[in-house]
Amino acid sequence: MTRSIFDKFQYYANLREDVARLDANPFNVVVEQVLSETEAIVNGRRTILAGTNNYLGLTFDPRCIAAGRKALEEEGTGTTGSRMANGTYAGHLALERELAEFFGLPASIVFSTGYIANLGILSTIPGASDAILLDADSHASIYDGCRLGNAEVIRFRHNDPADLDKRLRRLGDKAESALVVVEGIYSMIGDQAPLQEIVEVKRRHGAYLMVDEAHSLGVLGERGRGLVEQAGVEEDVDFIVGTFSKSLGAIGGFCVSRWQELEHARYAMRPYIFTASSSPSIIASTRVALSILREQGPELRKRLWDNAHRLYQGLKAFGFRMGPESSPVVAVTLGRSKDSALKVWHDLLDKGVYVNLVMPPASPTTECLLRCSLSAAHSAAQIDAVVDAFGALSGRILEN
């Protein structure tokens, strides 16, 4: 039989056939009309958006929209070039300065997406003679950044400082140039890295530490700097990577560092050098969102966490298998049956609730997840409606 270059995609072909039996595709939801930060028309129905990562609800903030509109009118729709060519505008440099000031660090680089930020840092900073030790549950962009570079890549068990310690010890003197990579809040079930313990291991071996705060920027810490701030280890973290597409309501990414030498690496990062820069309107709205985070962060975080606790406790009362702690990411674990998971997700959508369906290999285990991500903009009534929708399907979810 002739071998096809597409044979490797048979799993996904079968998955598409399963999905085709539904009225909606969980992996290609079409938002027909956006009504607000928390609602949209999906499949002709008014739907609560409970899976958008819009943690602080800033996507419709009039100040962000006004700044984006002004930049659009004054600077055009795009830069049509990379940062290394004609794609660095005054706004890009201003945002880098403001991010550095926000984190209290000397070095900052802005990227076109959070994904590209991880690709740029992880493919460039650790070289062929170095090692990267990454948490096994790290985001795909972290894995892809490691694959793009030449460093030795070693996984350690999720949130297991003892396993990290063992693997660093095996490296011997090489541990002194190793880069440990963890996340603030892990995106699938909302658990946090045991950062103080990881920092102790990092200190013991003299390694470097990078924390991806994509889901914890604006969510954790007294000033919203993330888990690094909340854990009190800011002086021990070498690189912080994050995104604008969650709490800041836009698109883009960044890396800040206590090492001024990060600026030298800018000129060697292929994902940075050969990618078009963010449009002026995105940069302008992100700058305003960052200023709102600085000024109104405590109020927004309180509303977000009130919603998170309300949803977590409401779902937990049904006996669902949940993540280990309350978080703005609230996930219900299902079984291994793709068909059952697809049907439950579809029935939630029929009840006017959109959540993320996560299936292997995207899920951290061999089981499927129904993943919610909350916003400060959700009302208590909306949270209760999400709980009620899950509750109406509790029998099937528990059997899954």
Residue matched to tokens 């005054």: 90
195 and 180 Cβ atoms separated by less than 8 Å: no
Residue 315's alpha-carbon distances to 31, 340, 375, 389, 394, in angstroms, are 26, 19, 17, 10, 9
- Residue 112 falls in the annotated catalytic set: no
Q: CA-CA distance, 213 to 183, in Å (whole number)? A: 6
Measured from the Cβ of residue 17, the count of other Cβ atoms closer than 10 Å reads 9
Q: State both tokens at 380.
A: 């208590």
DSSP one-letter code for 112: S
The single residue of 92, 139, 215, 378 carrying the catalytic annotation is 215
DSSP one-letter code for 141: H
- Residue 215 falls in the annotated catalytic set: yes
Non-local CB neighbours of 21 within 8 Å, separated by 6+ positions: none
Q: For the chain, first and last CA: distance in Å?
A: 38
Measured from the Cβ of residue 9, the count of other Cβ atoms closer than 10 Å reads 12
Report phi then psi at 16, rounded to 5: -65, -35
Q: Where are the beta strands (DSSP E) in 327-400?
A: 329-333, 353-354, 356-358, 369-373
The DSSP element (H or E) to which 107 belongs, if any, is: strand 107-111
Single-letter amino acid code for the residue at 145: G
Could you give the dihedral angle defined by the CA atoms of residues 81, 85, 87 and 91, in that order, rounded to the nearest 10 degrees? 180
The single residue of 187, 216, 285, 327 carrying the catalytic annotation is 187
The DSSP element (H or E) to which 132 belongs, if any, is: strand 131-135
- Residue 4 falls in the annotated catalytic set: no
Q: CA-CA distance, 399 to 383, in Å (whole number)? A: 24
The single residue of 92, 205, 246, 378 carrying the catalytic annotation is 246
Q: State both tokens at 294.
A: 């600085």
Alpha helices (H) in the chain, listed in sequence order = 10-20, 62-75, 90-103, 114-124, 140-148, 161-171, 195-205, 227-230, 262-265, 270-273, 280-316, 338-350, 380-392, 394-399
Q: CA-CA distance, 371 to 327, in Å (whole number)? A: 11
Residue matched to tokens 């049509």: 80
The residues assigned a catalytic role are 187, 215, 246
